[in-house]
A and B are shown apart, each in its own frame.
Chain A
Amino acid sequence: MKRAFRRAKAAGETTSIFFASDFHGADPCWRKFLGAGRHYGVDTLIMGGDLAGKALVPIARQPDGSFSARFLGEQHDVRGQEQLDRLVAAVRFNGMYPWVAEPDQIEKFRADAAGRDELFEQLILDDLRRWLALADERMPQYGIGVYVVGGNDDPWSCDNVLRTAEHVVACDDSVVRIGDHEMISCSYANTTPWHSPRELDEQALYDHLHGLAEQVEDPRRAIFMFHVPPFDSGLDTAAKLDEDLNVVYVGGQAQQVPVGSSAVRQIIEEYQPLLSLHGHIHESGGRAMIGRTLSINAGSEYSTGMLHGAVIRLGRDEVVSHQLVFG
């Protein structure tokens, strides 16, 4: 499909947004995110957090000049730069970081937890810089605003890199203006079994969000972009885990429970913004109404290169239209 779908603004539309979240290092998701502005004919792109990937694929440089790696259950043995580039691209497509190294170096890192942590962070930041450079290079010519926050899975060091971008607005923990609307953002999640970098207990999260929301002049026209979805909203359903992170099975099946944040829900109920945007629970993408607030979880299917998102067209005081899309 070519860059099509040029469109006139809908009646009453003043601001148009494409929202997506949880790319987890998947290269095609970021590239599609940047391409989404023109594809969907919107003037603002918002990324709701979790930029960093979760896995690193060591690619061993063998003595005979070939390269070998194992990922997605398949053994890959390649030779020459072209085949290596293809392997590297395939790894990135799936949201993993390729790391080409000597076999003994890989072995060393297997046994060195602290070294692995450093390596991971270095690769996360390198890829993020690459993503931001692409955005800074391409996006100014289109006049499409790009707003990005981290998510609970992103190391805090990502924010320092985000702030170096020229065209991308790092908007975590602040109030920014998008057309007629103020937007506040929060990268924290409520506590998870994984103790990821950005977590707060519900009371602390409520206090944090309340402090942010109080800075908004007109909450009823505002956009609340919180990485974690509101509790028991249908946007936060996931498998229950026990304390050892095993999925809890009942009757042979994974038990489903709401895992969103009650603090986020309470803030939405209290302030009733026009729109709330979320990610975090990949398999629970969708929309829900919480009072007058339209809440959207973009969902994520990052490992297939498919970008889940929502196209939202806002008037001054209303959501003119919204559409969940899979690009």
Chain B
Amino acid sequence: MNVDDTSGVGDATAAREATTTTVTDSGLFVRQSTGLIRGVTPFSAYVLNMAPAHPTQLLAAGFFFGFALFPGGNYLLALLLTVPLVLAFAYAFGLLTRLMPRTGGDYILAGRVLHPAWGLVSSIAYFIASLISMAFFAELVVNLGIGPGLSIIGLLGGWHTLVSWGATVEANNWWKFILGMVFVLFAAGMQVTTWRWRVRLQNGLFWGATAGVLLAGIIALFTSHGAFVHNFNSFSAPYTHLSNTYAATIATAHKAGVVTNAGFSFSNSVGIVGVLATATIYPFTTSWNSGELQQAQSRKTANIMALGGVTPLVAVAILAAIFLHTFGTAFMTAANGGGFPAQISAPATYFFLIAASAHSTVLGIILVLSYMLYWPLIMYIAFIQPSRALFAWSFDGLLPEWVTKVSPRTAAPTVAIGLTIVLSALTLVWGLHAKLFLTLVVYGVLFAMVSQISVGIAALVVPWRRRALYEAGSVHGKILGVQAVCVAGVAAILSGIFVSWIYLHYPQFGVGSVWKALGYVAGGIVIALAYYTIAVAIRSRQGRDVRLALSEIPPE
């Protein structure tokens, strides 16, 4: 018995027996034979899937920003509406990955089930989305991390030089580029280091970032609203010269047209789903790691994806309730809607407000550092798809062969990683000059939807397009008499369409012309198909038919 087959046939302990064949717990007779598989433990897989929606980032940036963008939107309802979207994508990717373990990502899932050309379309779409995400994170790490972090520590400690540095790096594109690229390079470094160090770093960053948001949540839980208002006003007075900065923040926002006490709006609750979707609907990172995933063929694969998607939503719901109770909903809406006093040169993030309320420089430093640990983690995860996609395209002959070169020490695809660094840098330069980076991010999500809808279609049709694989596989579960994988596929398709509709429907996301946006996405698809066609023609002249790379061999 071998470790390779623990997913399929039973338990590896059978191999320890002295006889040639043994009987597993599930009743199989197995022979001793060789074969091993790399291992991502369930916890590490969970971290990979959960990190894009980690509450640290969601609560520091997008979540409360959504309150100002969509007044009257109910965040609990929005979180609830996001759950089926998360589950749809988790199970579409997860069940297909169970059917095709030891493969990776949408390129293979869509390519094998639909068509190799469409696998490339899907992969390029997600590649674009990932590069935009990477550039977005590289800018946010300065705008929400380093800049405000320096300001917060400077404000709390009375070190005005730090406050000045914070303002400088936030205002200067060169600083943003340099500091953002430092984090991109760190993320790249995590890819080229040994597997052991990569996972240590990944999990260490996760725990570090999680500890900070939990600590802030616990402090907020034991801080009454009245105490917070009093402490915040006391902290702010030297800068704003106001006795009630708290009330002034709300008043300023009101004057700017921000509604802080709007009645319930279902429509705006849906709008908040769009804000949440920029981070929460990607719980399938391990799909690109399934080659290394232990028991990728087991139920755990899809369930870990679902768990990675849903737990951050639950955590955000609980922590948001605590923060809103302590800080006040009107205040958070106003502070994130432009009402926060400019004299306090830091955004109204939960960790700043907690540290300011506690008047504790040490706590501020701890919370800022913890928050900063999130960025290399999310950038490391955003880095996975592009570098692996470049490697896979090259492997299949769609890019020059030298792109597949790997480090002899760590087996990391060094050339693909280097190319991803260069492309991330170019995307960051582009993003820094874009009028509204959020709109660019929304375009990124629209491209990601091409990929996620493609996987949904693949899940829907796999029982027929890959009948033998489906019938012999282990995803035969049914929901109301319909194959579970088909249900997940339909749900993913509808979810992708729904998310796309939100971005195109609500002007707050800044997409502008719907047709222009759709044109960009359609253009991307056409370019990907054209690229595939050209690559086929060029390789054909070199004696290689790249159509063969993923085409199924008709069995005799």
Contacts and interface: CB of A to CB of B under 8 A. Distances in A.
A117 interface: yes
Contacts of B294: 254
A323 B103 CA distance: 18
B196 A253 contact: yes
Question: Which of A89, A195, A252 gathers most chain B CB within 10 Å?
Answer: A252
Interface string A220-263: 00000000000010100111010011110111111110010000
A253 B40 contact: yes
Contacts of B546: 323
Given A71-B9, A303-B8, A39 B553 contact: yes
A11 B556 contact: no
Interface string A170-205: 000000000000000000010011111000000000
A41 B31 CA distance: 36
A128 B484 CA distance: 36
B112 to A, nearest CB: 8
Nearest to B39: A254
A7 B545 contact: yes
Given A13-B543, A73-B299, A304 B100 contact: yes
A281 B521 CA distance: 41
Interface in A33-75: 34-36, 39-40, 50, 52-58, 70-74
A282 interface: yes
Contacts of A189: 34
A283 B542 contact: no
B343 interface: no
Contacts of B469: 93, 304-306
Interface string B83-111: 00000000000000001111100000000
Question: Which of B32, B35, B408 gathers most chain A CB within 10 Å?
Answer: B35
A192 B1 CA distance: 12
Contact of B34 (A74, A192, A247): A192
B101 A304 contact: yes
Contacts of B112: 306, 326
Interface string A1-37: 1110101001101000000001010001001101110
A163 interface: no
B244 to A, nearest CB: 50
Contacts, number: 260
Contacts of B27: 58, 70
B535 to A, nearest CB: 13
Given A54-B2, A86-B471, A244-B16, A283 B36 contact: yes
Contacts of B35: 22, 24, 54, 281-282
A35 B554 CA distance: 6
A79 interface: no
Interface stretch (B18-26, B132-140, B417-425): B18-26
B38 A28 contact: no
A234 B413 CA distance: 11
B379 to A, nearest CB: 20
Question: Which of B10, B39, B112 gathers most chain A CB within 10 Å?
Answer: B39
A234 B406 contact: yes
A194 B32 CA distance: 6
A208 interface: no
Interface of A is mostly: mixed
A45 to B, nearest CB: 11
B163 to A, nearest CB: 39
Contacts of B199: 251-253
B100 A253 contact: no
Contacts of A93: 468-469, 471-472
A5 B26 contact: no
Looking at chain B, what size class is its interface with the partner chain?
Answer: 35 or more
Given A55-B30, A70-B27, A282-B4, A1 B554 contact: yes
Given A116-B21, A234-B406, A247 B39 contact: yes
Contacts of B30: 54-56
Question: Which of A93, A109, A320, A323 gathers most chain B CB within 10 Å?
Answer: A323
Contact of A36 (B3, B550, B553): B553
Contact of B542 (A94, A321, A326): A321
A252 B34 contact: no
Contact of A280 (B34, B99, B195, B542): B34
A200 to B, nearest CB: 14
A303 B5 contact: yes
A1 B551 contact: yes
A113 B21 contact: yes
Contact of A153 (B29, B34, B397): B34
Contact of B33 (A3, A32, A89, A194): A194
B119 to A, nearest CB: 11
B41 interface: yes
Contact of A35 (B9, B195, B553): B553
A326 B550 contact: yes
Nearest to B19: A113
Contact of B555 (A34, A40, A237, A249): A34
Interface in A290-327: 301, 303-307, 311, 313, 320-321, 323-327
Contact of B19 (A70, A117, A249, A259): A117
A256 B5 contact: no
Contact of B9 (A90, A96, A152): A96
A238 to B, nearest CB: 4
A161 interface: no
Interface in A125-145: 134, 138
Contacts of A13: 543
Given A304-B99, A327-B553, A245 B15 contact: yes
Nearest to A320: B543
B31 A70 contact: no
Nearest to A251: B200
Interface in A207-221: none
B514 interface: no
A271 interface: no
B439 interface: no
A73 B357 CA distance: 54
A1 B466 CA distance: 12
B37 to A, nearest CB: 5
B411 interface: yes
Contacts of A313: 543
B534 to A, nearest CB: 18
A288 B134 CA distance: 31
Given A73-B474, A249-B39, A303-B297, A55 B195 contact: no
Contacts of A283: 4, 36-38, 102, 291
B3 A71 contact: no
Nearest to A252: B41
Contacts of B404: 286
Contacts of B299: 73
A132 B203 CA distance: 50
B99 A55 contact: no
B196 A250 contact: yes
B555 A32 contact: yes
A40 B544 contact: no
B19 A252 contact: no
* 3 shortest interchain CB distances as A-B pairs: A10-B543, A254-B39, A31-B555
Interface of B: 1-5, 8-10, 12, 15-16, 19-23, 26-41, 43-44, 99-103, 112, 194-197, 199-200, 203, 291, 294, 297-299, 395-397, 404, 406, 408, 411, 468-469, 471-474, 476, 542-556
9 contacts: A10-B543, A39-B548, A39-B551, A90-B471, A94-B8, A119-B29, A192-B34, A193-B15, A252-B41
Given A54-B9, A113-B20, A116-B19, 4 more contacts: A249-B41, A251-B199, A253-B196, A283-B102
